[in-house]
């Protein structure tokens, strides 16, 4: 029986554009938690229609307690909360899975395709991997590559979808939000779910090899923090060099060491 792994974030959920809409304590939140759930359920259903019998959904936003479990299909299990493992938003993934779908993903800190663009934390102004602005999707795609599991589909803002298309042309993308500055144009919420379901159904039938994310030979990382004091403190992580008042660099050829560093420094 084929198994799908879904990593679900929120800042690329259809219609979302303000931090209040992503935070449990806010009145604006429940509607977007519902839409996030709807999009995850649509991804599950698409895979199921294509023959997947099992899905593990990692709730991967903030508290990791956003998705409404009863609204997922019965063949889906959900992993809520944080396990403390460097896999973080991908916790629960291993090489026994047949494919991965990312829902609700958003572009990197330092980009302009989503009012909520960031990379792991708001205290990082930008992160670069091998000279390129790095998103959460980038880090998580490297985890997918490390486990050898193909990435079949990504949903979220147009910018992150374009990035994935460039890196992995056979991965299907479903842009639901089109951001500019502090604004976002979005699809009709049910239309977003409809597109996700249909796209995932097609995508998971592609040849596995065609959707494996490329693994780089080395990881040259630069991180710029908002606060110089934080950069100084984190500069004591083994192997890290401070290259400016707010800037650190780190280099390794070992993917898991890269992830371990990211786990502590982001
Ligand atoms: Zn998030």
Q: How far is ligand 1, taken at its centre, from the CA of residue 60, in Å?
A: 7
Predicted pLDDT at 229: 98
Predicted pLDDT at 69: 97
Q: How far is ligand 1, taken at its centre, from the CA of residue 23, in Å?
A: 10
Closest by CA position to 149, among listed 205, 97, 190: 97
Q: Is residue 48 part of a domain?
A: yes
Under 8 Å between Cβ of 177 and 114 = yes
Report residues of the chain scoring pLDDT below 70: none
Contacts of 232 (CB under 8 A, 6+ apart): 242
Q: How far is ligand 1, taken at its centre, from the CA of residue 255, in Å?
A: 23
State whether 157 and 226 are in the same domain.
Answer: no
Q: Where are the alpha helices (H) located in 116-254, listed in sequence order?
A: 136-147, 158-167, 189-203, 228-234
- Read off the pLDDT of residues 179-200 as tens digits, 9 standing for 90 and up: 999 999 999 999 999 999 999 9
Count of structural domains, the chain? 2
Q: How far is ligand 1, taken at its centre, from the CA of residue 247, in Å?
A: 24
Q: Kind of pairing, strands 151-157 and 132-133?
A: unpaired
3-state secondary structure of 209: helix
253 CB-side CA count, 13 A: 1
- Read off the pLDDT of residues 96-146 as tens digits, 9 standing for 90 and up: 999 999 999 999 999 999 999 999 999 999 999 999 999 999 999 999 999
State whether 196 and 229 are in the same domain.
Answer: no
Q: How far is ligand 1, taken at its centre, from the CA of residue 58, in Å?
A: 12
Q: What is the pTM of this model?
A: 0.97
State whether 192 and 223 are in the same domain.
Answer: no
Q: How far is ligand 1, taken at its centre, from the CA of residue 1, in Å?
A: 30
Predicted pLDDT at 117: 96
């Amino acid at each position: 029986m084929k198994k799908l792994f879904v990593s679900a974030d929120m800042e690329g959920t259809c219609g979302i554009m303000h931090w209040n809409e992503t935070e449990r304590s806010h009145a604006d939140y429940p509607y977007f938690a519902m839409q996030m759930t709807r999009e995850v359920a649509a991804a599950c259903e698409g895979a199921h229609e294509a023959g997947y019998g099992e899905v593990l959904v990692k709730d991967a936003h903030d508290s990791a307690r956003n998705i409404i479990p009863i609204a997922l299909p019965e063949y889906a299990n959900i992993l809520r909360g944080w396990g403390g493992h460097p896999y973080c938003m991908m916790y629960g993934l291993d090489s026994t899975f047949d494919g991965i779908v990312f829902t609700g993903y958003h572009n990197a800190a330092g980009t302009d395709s989503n009012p909520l663009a960031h990379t792991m934390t708001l205290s990082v102004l930008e992160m670069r991997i091998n000279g390129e602005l790095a998103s959460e999707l980038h880090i998580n795609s490297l985890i997918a590559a490390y486990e050898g599991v193909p990435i079949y589909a990504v949903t979220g803002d147009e910018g992150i979808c374009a990035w994935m298309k460039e890196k992995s042309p056979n991965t299907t993308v479903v842009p639901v939000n089109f951001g500019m500055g502090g604004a976002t144009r979005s699809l009709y919420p049910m239309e977003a779910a409809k597109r996700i379901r249909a796209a995932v159904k097609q995508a998971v039938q592609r040849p596995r090899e065609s959707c494996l994310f490329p693994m780089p030979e080395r990881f040259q990382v630069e991180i710029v923090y908002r606060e110089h004091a934080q950069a100084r403190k984190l500069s004591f992580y083994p192997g890290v060099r401070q290259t400016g008042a707010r800037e650190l660099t780190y280099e390794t050829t070992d993917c898991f060491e890269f992830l371990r560093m990211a786990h502590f420094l982001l």
